[in-house]
Amino acid sequence: MRAFIAIDLPLEIKDHLGRIEEKLKASAADVKWVSPANIHLTLKFLGEIDAQKKASLIRIIEDTAKDKNAFSLRLSSAGAFPNIKYPRVIWIGIDEGSAEVLKIAEELEEKIEKIGIPKETREFSSHITIGRVKSGLHRLKLTEGIEEINKELGEKLLELPAGKITLFKSTLSPKGPAYEPLHETSLQKIVSQ
């Protein structure tokens, strides 16, 4: 089965990101948009795994989560890889909580390599993918739309809780991927003094 590890997002944030996608769709650019129900923050894409690897991954996720506190994420910006002028992947970035996400992702990467899943070659970047550009059609309008969304995000800071690490199964179909949570592990609750 294809699988990945992610921080799932609350429904109200997925709805908000869906509204951002609707605004960007007005550009009529050739983009495959992520269904709002499927929007998440990927920590590690795993590719194909078997039942034995799944069991090992669950232990790794639980071990990683056991000493990590729940934290907040704040959506901060809109952008694109490799850059906004020539977008291939459209994303929403985070500022607050980015260091915590990076620490979890790096720890998972180190532990997962030991069970035979190769490390990611690209440097980890805390972002939420919302679309993949398929061609250059209406690229300039799309770029203008991303810049406009960037301004909006700067004016209205959105925070969300990050309290769980989830192992997801990804099933591909002509209608797009379907994601099924296989295992959720809670981060530690922050105890107020």
SS3 sequence of 19-42: HHHHHHHCCCCCEEECCHHHCEEE
Residue 171 falls within a domain, yes or no? Answer: yes
Active site residue 127: yes
Q: Is residue 192 part of a domain?
A: no
- Are the C-beta atoms of 3 and 169 separated by less than 8 Å? yes
**Which residues touch 63 (CB under 8 Å, ≥6 apart)?**
111
Q: Is-catalytic flag, 40? A: yes
45 in a structural domain: yes
Set 16, 40, 138, 183: catalytic member: 40
**146, part of any domain:** yes
| pLDDT recorded at residue 154 | 80
Q: What is the pLDDT of residue 163?
A: 94
For 146-168, letters b (16+ CB in 10 Å) and e give: beebbeebeeeeeebebbbbbbb
* No. of helices (H) and no. of strands (E), the chain: 4, 9
pLDDT of residue 190: 60
Domain extent for 33:
2-186
- The whole-model pTM stands at 0.93
Predicted local confidence at residue 155, as pLDDT: 81
Name the token pair of 183.
């295992």
The reply to whether 61 falls in a domain is yes
Residue 176: predicted pLDDT: 84
- Is 191 part of a structural domain of the chain? no
Answer whether residue 10 is part of any domain.
Answer: yes
Question: Does 193 map to a domain?
Answer: no
The pLDDT value given to residue 29: 97
pLDDT by residue for the chain (193 residues), tens only, comes to 999 999 999 999 999 999 999 999 999 999 999 999 999 999 999 999 999 999 999 999 999 999 999 999 999 999 999 999 999 999 999 999 999 999 999 999 999 999 999 999 999 999 999 999 999 999 999 999 999 999 988 887 789 999 999 999 999 988 889 999 999 999 987 644 4
As for how many domains the chain has, the answer is: 1
Residue 45's CATH number? 3.90.1140.10
- With vertex at residue 48, the alpha carbon angle to CA 44 and CA 51, rounded to the nearest 5 degrees, is 100
